[in-house]
Amino acid sequence: METRVAVLAIIVKSDASVTALNELLHQYGRYIISRMGVPYRERGVNLISVAIDAPQDAISALSGRIGRLPGITAKTVYAPVEN
């Protein structure tokens, strides 16, 4: 199965969904290359970047599920496809 490399940018504004977010990341753990989280206390947000190598439909599903969590925003950037 062909995979894509991408980075998920996640901004957490509400702690209410953190458990659900961690559960989702655990479910997709086999695809995750790395994860980095940075608390930005002055603005009351947490910034998380997740590097992932997975089938495109799995990346889209994860990003969509994360983005639907209350108080959380997620965007995905894909590496260019090699021809």
Digit-coded pLDDT (tens) for 62-80: 999 999 999 999 999 999 9
The residue segments making up the domain with residue 30 are 4-78
Token digits of residue 60: 């889209």
Percent of the chain at pLDDT exceeding 70: 99
- Residue 83 is assigned to a structural domain of this protein: no
Residue 31 maps to a domain: yes
pTM above 0.85, yes or no: yes
Domain membership flag for residue 70: yes
At residue 83, the pLDDT reads: 66
Within a domain: 50: yes
CATH number reported for the structural domain that contains residue 37 in this entry? 3.30.70.1150
pLDDT of the residue at 1? 79
Give how many domains the chain has, as a whole number. Answer: 1
Tell me the per-residue pLDDT of 9-26, one tens digit each, with 9 for 90 and over: 999 998 899 999 999 999
Rounded distance, CA 36 to CA 61, Å? 20
- State the virtual CA torsion across 52, 54, 56, 60 in degrees, nearest 10: -50
